[in-house]
Amino acid sequence: MTNTLHRYGKAESFVDDYIVFSLPAKSKAAGQSGDALAAQKRFMQIAAEYSPCSLGDALHGGSLRPTKSKSIFGHWGKRNKPNFKKVLEGMSKAGTMAAVFDSRAKAEAFVKRIKEEELGLSVNISSSIENAKNACKFAGIPRHSVAYSLGFEDVGDNTPGKQAIMLSTMCGHGMLSINLAQKMMSFVKENRRTPKEAAETMARFCSCGIFNTTRARRILEDVRVGVK
């Protein structure tokens, strides 16, 4: 599934956006053997050491999730914070497990460590082409395969509301609506929410946990001051 591939934006807008994810080859024809879930748990435990901005289990959710409250004041004030432990403890089936990093140094160090671990899982980096190349170079790995995103046809650089598309496409499954992204942009512009609060609100809709709150905060800061 291409849920991380088609994020809208120029290469420079992915300066703080590295998704490193692992998955086993599930088809019988692939003939892969071994305990994929145990390997993926180790992958995610190691990722947590490198201070990701999010961890996500495609089956159970990310480190920021919707909440339920019986109290009238349940969702006033402080909301839940990213909870990595919950993601790690919730992993029950091998699938797509992702770590989102907001810095080149963290992402590259993690990729190098994962190479050394020799888990045998397929590992992919979803980012700008150059970011992934640099991470491979740092780890001393030749790229195996690459899937290029050719971008959204007819969505040009000067399209109105492109920042809403940048925010919305950070959930590649489309769970984060463009209307909500625009609403959050308005809330930030009107100083009704901080960029951090708005980014965390949007992250709760991304059920795979791959929404990058750091990139979202940066985009929302631009929106606040009118940078296009």
Helix/strand/coil for 158:
coil
Whole-number Cα distances in Å, 95 to 56, 58, 60:
11, 7, 10
Residues 20-37 as b/e (b if ≥16 CB within 10 A, e otherwise) read bbbbbeeeeeeeeeeebe
User: Using CA atoms, how far apart are residues 211 and 224, in angstroms rounded to an integer?
Assistant: 20
Nearest distance, CB of residue 95 and another protein, angstroms: 8
Helix/strand/coil for 73:
coil
Positions in 19-78 near another protein (CB under 8 A) = 23-27, 29-36, 38-39, 42, 45-46, 48-49, 51, 53-54, 58-59, 63, 66-72, 74-76
In the bound state with another protein, the residue whose beta carbon lies nearer, of 91 and 132, is 132
Q: Of the candidates 111, 168, 156, which has an alpha carbon nearest to the alpha carbon of residue 136?
A: 111
Tell me if 158 contacts another protein by CB under 8 A: no
Tell me if 220 contacts another protein by CB under 8 A: no
How do strand 61-62 and strand 97-101 relate by DSSP bridges?
A: unpaired
**Binding residue for another protein, selected from 15, 103, 139, 222, defined by CB under 8 A:** 139
Q: Of the candidates 121, 124, 88, which has an alpha carbon nearest to the alpha carbon of residue 1?
A: 124
Tell me if 163 contacts another protein by CB under 8 A: no
Tell me if 161 contacts another protein by CB under 8 A: no
**Binding residue for another protein, selected from 16, 56, 62, 82, defined by CB under 8 A:** 82
User: Using CA atoms, how far apart are residues 159 and 162, in angstroms rounded to an integer?
Assistant: 6
Tell me if 154 contacts another protein by CB under 8 A: yes
In the bound state with another protein, the residue whose beta carbon lies nearer, of 134 and 222, is 134
Size of the site for another protein (CB under 8 A): 115
**Binding residue for another protein, selected from 104, 178, 194, 222, defined by CB under 8 A:** 178
In the bound state with another protein, the residue whose beta carbon lies nearer, of 214 and 222, is 214
In the bound state with another protein, the residue whose beta carbon lies nearer, of 109 and 139, is 139
The label of the residue with tokens 């020799």 reads: 118
Nearest distance, CB of residue 225 and another protein, angstroms: 22
Helix/strand/coil for 88:
helix
Positions in 88-107 near another protein (CB under 8 A) = 88, 102
